[in-house]
Structure 1
Amino acid sequence: MRTTRPLAVVASLLLGGALLAGCSAAPDGAASFAGDGGGGVTAHSEAGAADEGSSGIAPASEDAASQGDREVVTTGSVTVVADDPATAAEQVAELAESAGGRVESRRQSEPDGDARASAELTIRVPAAQTTATVDALEQVGDVRDLSIEAVDVTGTARDLDARVAALTTSVERLRTLMGDAASTEDLLAAEQELTTRQAELESLQSQRAALTDQVTMSTLHVSVVQVAVTEKLAPGGFLGGLQNGWNALLATLNGLVVVLGALLPWLVVAGVVLLVVRWVLRRVRRRAQDGGTPPTPGTDAHGPEDGPGAPSADREPVGASTRE
């Protein structure tokens, strides 16, 4: 008897938990039908007849009631163009805090080379203030690339609520059975099952809390970028061609000035080297023309100067003709 009793207790607990979960997850329409009896059927038939005679659009009061029961998760992304992204990011953070929200993440980058300054923020604002917050971003800068998405999670929320309610009831019954346990085996079996149910209940409660936070607070990703300089097209016709030519000339001269500035140090060094080489070559030529020693006065490089009394190679000696 003691061996079969714990198994019977556990089986009865599991069966009771399943029945509680099914009852808790039953739709509202089935519960109202069982409680109202025939009156519920009559009311449903009258409502159907009224709908058939209407234009097919639900009244405003019923639509508002259904909207109030819905649970919607709202997320969005927006790009804001501003002159100073750092200042704009500070304004976005102040805007979120003034709406009752908070800044979850923030990243800023300073301009570096061709990259412009930018900022990235993730803000959480109350769901009722989402539209007002997006409209207020117009005061920060030029709003572009706006995207808002709303996801209805009413079914998921109701399912979590039903499971949490069923497990809560099951946990309470297990605690009652633990207090009424007649043996140690019954107590250990109920305690083990209670631990499992309690862990599952806490997990469901955590999921429900996270979903409630997403429904209550909308998430917006805000990208702040610097104003991009737009290039203006030059006018057409003769004046446009003249302006384009003048701009091309200025660009060419600017390029030449840059090249000249880069080559000027090299030109100075090359000029100095050429002057030194030219001076050395002139010295070498002068030494080669001088021949080593300078000539004596009255003579040249070929011998004594030719004078009136100097013998000529073309003249014959006087004594030579007499002898013949």
Structure 2
Amino acid sequence: MSIRRTRAVLACGVLAVALAACTSGEQASRTADSGSGVQNEMAAPQAQSPGKAPAPGKPAAGQGQAADRKLAKTATIALTAPDPAAVGEGARRAAMVAGGFVGEERTDGKSASLSVSVPAAKLDSTLDELAKLGAVVHKAQHAQDVTEQVVDVQSRLASQRKSVERVRALLDRAGSVSEVASVESELTTRETELESLQAKQDSLTAQVDMATISVSVGLPVAPKPDSAPGGFTSGLANGWSAFLTFGSGVLTGLGAAAPFLALLLIPAALYWHHRRKKPATPPPTTPTNDI
């Protein structure tokens, strides 16, 4: 019995030593982790840099239905009207009625140009209203698919927000002054990236929600006269016009040559005057032989 009790006591002692060793090792590990936790957790978000994978719950680009596509729509319309300024004012009213606004605008007596932004859902109806303001010379629409960009920015924005939250939590746990300075610097960098992504998302959202219409207005072009033959009257009119054109060309040529003719006539007149005053030379006499 004494041998069994001795073995039991030894077994209990070995078990107690093992438990003590495990407890001391765990405490040492926790102490080491508390000293380097800030650096490790600051590096972790950087290792988990967001890629271009679609955000959770969103369909991958190119695989969603047509209703899920994000389209940035633009349009152009060119009109002619006797009063371009009045057409510009009408375009402004049409944009207001559609719930939009006018951006850049230039108007003078002969032309007008406007940049109109309206909700994308009212693009077609607004174009129809603008077409009623004058004679349509040109009208076109263009849609750019920005679904992939929208999904990418949403994914990166969600990851960046989580990254900023983790760094803010580390700032509360930082113990030394150097750790506080390091964490604050990292927090500033990640907040700047977050603001940049937020601005990009806002820009894409505005492009999808609002469609831009470029409106240009000019004066009507005067029709060219009919040049087809119209019988004797038309031929007489064409002949008279040709005669006037020829006469005008002849008179123009004479007017251009008049100064040169005057310079030539003066020496000619002096020479002619000199010839008239010079006495005539008697003809030579032929000697005759007397027989």
Per the normalisation by structure 2, the TM-score is 0.65
Q: Which residue of 1 aligns with 2:230?
A: 240
1:12 maps onto 2:71 in alignment: no
SS, match of residue 89 in structure 2: helix
Aligned counterpart for 2:148 among listed residues 152, 155, 166:
155
Question: Which residue identity lines up with residue 133 of structure 2 in the other structure?
Answer: V
Distance of 1:181 and 1:124 partners within structure 2: 50
Count of residue correspondences: 247
Question: Which residue identity lines up with residue 101 of structure 2 in the other structure?
Answer: R
Contact 2:77 2:213 in 1 (8 A): yes
Contact 1:6 1:186 in 2 (8 A): no
1:184 maps onto 2:184 in alignment: no
Q: Deviation per CA, 1:175-217, whole angstroms, max 9, x where unpaired?
A: 1111111111211111111011011111111111111111111
- Closer/same/farther in 2, CA of residues 250 and 123 from structure 1, 3 Å limit: farther
Contact 2:58 2:151 in 1 (8 A): no
- Closer/same/farther in 2, CA of residues 100 and 27 from structure 1, 3 Å limit: closer
- Closer/same/farther in 2, CA of residues 178 and 98 from structure 1, 3 Å limit: same
Distance of 2:94 and 2:127 partners within structure 1: 10
Distance of 1:253 and 1:156 partners within structure 2: 71
Question: Which residue identity lines up with residue 117 of structure 2 in the other structure?
Answer: R
1:219 maps onto 2:248 in alignment: no
Distance of 2:35 and 2:194 partners within structure 1: 23
Distance of 2:104 and 2:54 partners within structure 1: 40
Could you tell me which runs of 5 or more consecutive residues in structure 2 were left unpaired when the two chains were aligned.
Answer: 1-32, 253-291
Q: Deviation per CA, 1:95-116, whole angstroms, max 9, x where unpaired?
A: 1122111111122344xxxxxx
Distance of 1:251 and 1:5 partners within structure 2: 104
Distance of 1:142 and 1:129 partners within structure 2: 21
Q: Deviation per CA, 1:135-161, whole angstroms, max 9, x where unpaired?
A: 112210122321101112122111111
Q: Which residue of 2 aligns with 1:103?
A: 102
Per the normalisation by structure 1, the TM-score is 0.59
Q: Which residue of 2 aligns with 1:198?
A: 191
Distance of 1:223 and 1:98 partners within structure 2: 19
Contact 1:76 1:149 in 2 (8 A): yes
Aligned counterpart for 1:142 among listed residues 128, 135, 140:
135
Contact 2:38 2:174 in 1 (8 A): no
Contact 1:234 1:244 in 2 (8 A): no
Question: Which residue identity lines up with residue 42 of structure 2 in the other structure?
Answer: L
Cα RMSD (Å): 4.2
Q: Deviation per CA, 1:12-41, whole angstroms, max 9, x where unpaired?
A: 3232354484698456579xxxxxxxxxxx
Question: Which residue identity lines up with residue 169 of structure 2 in the other structure?
Answer: T
Q: Quick one: percent identity of the two aligned structures?
A: 32
Contact 1:24 1:165 in 2 (8 A): no
